[in-house]
Amino acid sequence: MEEKKSQAVIEVTESGPLRITGTFILKDMKTGNETRLSEIWLCRCGKSANKPYCDMSHKVR
């Protein structure tokens, strides 16, 4: 059987957000919203005012 192809790239940026590119469906379990996207940056520091998205708060002291 052929090796399955990678559908998306999940990149843990250094001291920054999680960057996801490719073919994926984002589901926000809090709101139930489901979106098909090709690129997204998700907050990893816990400080974003716009969770789950990154708003660059990790750079603010």
Partner 1 sequence: MENTSSSRDERKYRNEEITVYWKPSACVHASYCYRELIEVFDPGRRPWVDMKGSTTEKIIETVNLCPTEALSWKWNDEEKNKVISKDQYNHINFRRPELMDKSDNGIIENPVSVKVMSDGPIVIKGDFTLLYDGNKKEIRESLISICRCGASGHLPFCDGQHRKIGFTG
- Would you count residue 1 as binding partner 1 (CB under 8 A)? no
Taking the complex as a whole, how short is the minimal distance between the CB of residue 15 and partner 1, in angstroms? 10
- Would you count residue 47 as binding partner 1 (CB under 8 A)? yes
- Would you count residue 59 as binding partner 1 (CB under 8 A)? no
- Would you count residue 39 as binding partner 1 (CB under 8 A)? yes
The encoded tokens of residue 39 equal: 């690129």
* Closest C-alpha among 29, 1, 34, 46 to residue 18: 46
What amino acid is encoded at 50 in this protein?
Answer: N
Contacts of 60 (CB under 8 A, 6+ apart): 47
Q: Return residues touching partner 1 (CB under 8 A).
A: 3-12, 18, 20-30, 34-56
